[in-house]
Structure 1
Amino acid sequence: MFKKQNELIKQLTDKQIIQNLYMTQLLLLAIAVGLSFLLFDRFHEFLILFNAPFQQALKWGVGLAIIVLIIDYLIFKGVPEKYVDDGGINEKIFSTRSILHIFILTAIIAFSEELLFRGILQTHFGLVTASIIFAILHFRYLSKWVLFTMVVTISFFIGIVYEITGNLVATMIAHFLIDFISALQIRMNTIKGGNSNEG
């Protein structure tokens, strides 16, 4: 089933993948907004999620991102490529994007996913429930257990930071930095690979 899913994704054009990505994030954002009306008694309670010291958000967000990126680097260097290959999906998404477009994409992803999983689901149903739902939505990685474990673990770490700080902005900063820097690395590797082939 997962192989068929990956094959279908591979057949999508660059434009179709980006459109699907934006539509997915828009859907997650719509779900988050809809659930916020159902689960929060007052709009003020929802706004409190963002009412935390920015210095604290920056410290926790940057700190967590650095730790995760170092662990990611060590895993990708120490594990055979077949265990961490996502089928070239992330390459399709990020390799030919401008830095500005990558910035916008990863910012939207961080905002919508953290708003839903941390701000709404974890706030009302707890860390474990939010992490399970997050894992279910990333089922395409199930055929690559190393990647799947990494994705779920990162989500759990971000959730722990939210549990400790109650600072939604901190989780958004961490998520954004992890995705943005990883995407830039993909872009840079593609450019280097292209230059090597030309040489």
Structure 2
Amino acid sequence: MKKQREIVADLTDQELVLNVYLTQVIMLVLALIIGYFVFDRWFDFGLLFKTNLKWMILVGGGVALVVVFTDLILERLLPKEWLDDGGINERVFRNLSIPQLFLLCAVVAFAEELLFRAVIQTAFGLVIASVIFALVHIRYLDKPILFFNVCLVSFLLGTLFYWTGMIMITIFAHFLIDFLLGIILRNRYKKNIEKEGGVRT
């Protein structure tokens, strides 16, 4: 984990964002490869994308808002160092425009939910999919609160998929969580820069 942080520290913000995109491409490829063996027909895979717009917005959106508000409450209640991810999330989001942030969050939500929920959870169940999802976020392993939070969100999204059978609901919830938190981090960074009266990259 220390080595990972050192590698990340050597990357520019743009290189960091590019690495996020490359990681999502790998996840999409894995989802297609594993999905080929999990589903008898691609038609069965496609059935997971059936959706109910009202449910997607109310249920998926509701879950996302609960997660975001919980994160904000934890920030106020817990010591800052307990929630410090090394500034990686801020560096990913801070220099993105809103459309760029929207696109990045949409790609991440689609790729990760497709792999971990639609494919891995369908094949191996909620617990295994949620644990693997949490372990992929390796930089949180030495941060108990952050790791527990990722585990909880993973189980929450997995349970949402289990109950509804609709992958679009979990994709929307995942997207909204990342997008709202991304905007918050971006705005905080911009305000801090304005207060300091300078420009940092």
Superposition TM-score, scaled by structure 2 size: 0.95
Give how far 1:45 is off: 0.2
- 2:123 is aligned with 1:124: yes
Q: Residues 162-187 of structure 1, C-alpha deviation per residue, up to 9 Å, x if partnerless?
A: 11111111101100000000000011
- Asked if the contact 1:102/1:180 (under 8 Å) is kept, the reply is yes
TM-fit CA distance, 1:96: 0.7
Taking the TM superposition and a 5 Å limit, the aligned residue runs for 1:181-192 are 181-192=180-191
**Letter of the aligned partner of 2:127 in structure 1?**
V
Deviation per residue, 1:60-95 (Å, 9 max, x gap): 110101111111111111111101111011111100
Q: Which amino acid aligns with 1:107?
A: A
Instruction: Give the total of aligned pairs.
Output: 198
Deviates more, 1:4-13 or 1:165-174: 4-13
Matched residue SS, 1:22 = helix
Task: Check conservation: 1:94, 1:186, Cα contact below 8 A.
Answer: yes
* SS in structure 1 of the partner of residue 86 of structure 2: coil
Displacement of 1:54: 2.0
Q: Does 1:56 align with 2:58?
A: no
Deviation of the 1:109 alpha carbon: 0.3
Cα distance between partner residues in 1 of 2:18 and 2:107: 13
Partner of 1:26: 25
Runs (5+) with no aligned partner, structure 1: none
Root-mean-square deviation (Å): 1.1
Aligned to 1:148: 147
Paired position in structure 2 for 1:79: 78
**CA distance in 1 between partners of 2:145 and 2:191 (Å):** 26
Match of 2:135 in 1: 136
Amino acid at match of 2:109: A
Shift of 1:143: 1.3
Structure 2 counterpart SS, 1:135: helix
Kindly indicate whether the alpha-carbon contact (under 8 Å) linking 1:10 and 1:87 is maintained by their aligned counterparts in 2: no
Structure 1 position 13, deviation (Å):
1.4
**Partner residue of 1:196?**
195
Name the SS for the 1:189 alignment partner.
helix
Structure 2's unaligned 5+ residue stretches are none
SS at match of 1:32: helix
